[in-house]
Amino acid sequence: MKHPQNIQSVIVYFSDLYSSYLEVNRLLIKKIRNSGSGDLTEQKFLYKFYNKHGDAKVFQTNLLNLILASSIEKISIITAPLLVLLQENLSRYEESKEVLKSLDHYNLVEQSLQYYKNKRVSLENDLELIKTYPYPTEKERQILIDETRKELSELSGEEEKERRRVAPFGKNFFPGIYQLSKDLFDCANAYIPEKEKIIDNYPKSEGHSSASDVSAKNDKMVAVDEPNMIFKTRMFERFLVLERKLVTDKYLEENLNKELHWISTHENGKPDIKQLITFLVGLLDNNYFLPNKDPKIKTFFESRYHITIGQNFERKRREPLLNGYKIVFHDYQF
């Protein structure tokens, strides 16, 4: 095998896989605690994750390139956090295998189509009313009947199109991800003789060394941040999915202590607070937050991202950015 020409791409691969597994494990914990929880946004994330990382051969190639290009110390720095997450994924799944195998995600697809069902009921009621209403002439009645039937027909076409779009997300991905985790862990076991030593030496305070550590740390984070004080019901969970994309897209940086830092900068190297405000405007515009919580929202994100937002979050300063988030964050499913 040739020496890798660009080790940076290998590091980016492992970093992306690590960030993705953080979110996968969070959703796994959520499902174990409440098998009926979840929404289509989370399903879409799992679908994209599995399609992107489902081939263990890609992991093998990157791992071999890393081994050829690095010392054991560097290998441990890059792989240890991921190996710990893989261990956690395996142990959590095995502990709750029966629950996770029996998950039914078809209802999440049906819930996402509820708009069309409600709209159809409304139009059908309109149609029945038109048939009995005493219009001046039958010609008027027939015109309205034809228009309503046309709307029903168009609605059926739109619903079918949307059903085809979301159908791939209505699947239980956790058994497949469990098998993927096994394959990746077995691959690491085959090529890293010191794997167990690497994992054991990985500082517990800097990573998810055990399921109990993860749970305790998550509980601590919630207690400190108090997202329930600013986020509407269940919207914090949706926000966490978007936040992982901020990390992937290099707006946020996550260190080994799980601290988040806003790293998006201007050309002059100073933090680009405007982009952060633009992102927050997107959350505001899509009803993520409870009303009249501006000071708490600002404080929450200053603490969470280790950055000073200051007066930039004032209403008069953020209103001009209302359409900006659709351009800057155009591929974010708010």
Average pLDDT of the chain, as a whole number: 82
Q: Same domain for 119 and 94?
A: no
Instruction: Considering only residues 194 and 131, tell me which one the structure prediction assigns the higher pLDDT.
Output: 131
Give me the pLDDT at residue 75, please: 81
Among candidate residues 251, 249, 254, the one with its CA nearest the CA of residue 262: 251
Q: Residue 275: pLDDT band by 50, 70, 90 thresholds?
A: confident
Token pair belonging to 49? 């994750």
**Structural domain for 99, as ranges:** 7-103+171-203
Q: Is 14 helix (H, G, I), strand (E, B) or coil?
A: helix
Q: Cβ distance 192 to 104 under 8 Å? A: no
Q: Is residue 2 part of a domain?
A: no
Question: Has residue 7 got a pLDDT over 90?
Answer: no
Among candidate residues 244, 220, 239, 246, the one with its CA nearest the CA of residue 297: 239
Q: Is residue 123 part of a domain?
A: yes
Q: Is residue 211 part of a domain?
A: no
Q: Same domain for 46 and 165?
A: no
Give me the pLDDT at residue 314, please: 86
Q: Is residue 16 part of a domain?
A: yes
Q: Same domain for 177 and 164?
A: no
Most confident of 191-195, 220-224, 286-290: 286-290
Which residues, listed in sequence order, are joined to residue 265 by a DSSP beta bridge? 271
How many other C-beta atoms can be found within 10 angstroms of the C-beta atom of residue 18? 20
Q: Is residue 215 part of a domain?
A: no
Percentage of the residues of the chain whose pLDDT score is greater than 70: 86
Question: Has residue 216 got a pLDDT over 50?
Answer: no
Which residues lie below 8 Å from residue 299, measured CB to CB, with a gap of 6+? none
Most confident of 172-181, 284-293, 301-310: 172-181
Sign of CA dihedral 103, 104, 109, 114: negative
Give me the pLDDT at residue 3, please: 46
Predicted confidence (pLDDT) per residue in 292-314, tens digit = 888 889 888 888 888 888 888 88
Question: Has residue 212 got a pLDDT over 70?
Answer: no
Alpha-carbon gap, residue 68 to 7, rounded angstroms: 10
Question: Has residue 237 got a pLDDT over 50?
Answer: yes
Which stretch of 56-60, 104-108, 161-165 has the lowest confidence by average pLDDT? 104-108
Q: Same domain for 187 and 259?
A: no
Question: Has residue 179 got a pLDDT over 80?
Answer: yes
How many other C-beta atoms can be found within 10 angstroms of the C-beta atom of residue 146? 10
Burial of 141 from C-beta contacts in 10 A (0-12 / 13-18 / 19+)? middle
Question: Has residue 226 got a pLDDT over 80?
Answer: no
Q: Same domain for 93 and 180?
A: yes
Q: Same domain for 70 and 134?
A: no
Question: Has residue 205 got a pLDDT over 80?
Answer: no
Give me the pLDDT at residue 173, please: 93
Q: Residue 208: pLDDT band by 50, 70, 90 thresholds?
A: very low
Give me the pLDDT at residue 214, please: 36
Q: Is residue 221 part of a domain?
A: no
Q: Same domain for 187 and 122?
A: no
Q: Residue 139: pLDDT band by 50, 70, 90 thresholds?
A: very high
Instruction: Considering only residues 116 and 198, tell me which one the structure prediction assigns the higher pLDDT.
Output: 116
Q: Same domain for 191 and 250?
A: no
Q: Residue 278: pLDDT band by 50, 70, 90 thresholds?
A: very high
| DSSP characters over 145-177 | HHHHHHHHHHHHHHHHHHHHHHGGGSS--HHHH
Predicted confidence (pLDDT) per residue in 121-138, tens digit = 999 999 999 999 999 899
Q: Same domain for 46 and 138?
A: no
Boundary-marking domain end, from 126, 149, 169:
169
Q: Same domain for 29 and 19?
A: yes
**Does an H or E element contain 260, and which?**
strand 260-262
Q: Is residue 219 part of a domain?
A: no
Q: Is residue 92 part of a domain?
A: yes
How many structural domains is the chain composed of?
3
Give me the pLDDT at residue 263, please: 84
* Region 34-46 average pLDDT: 85
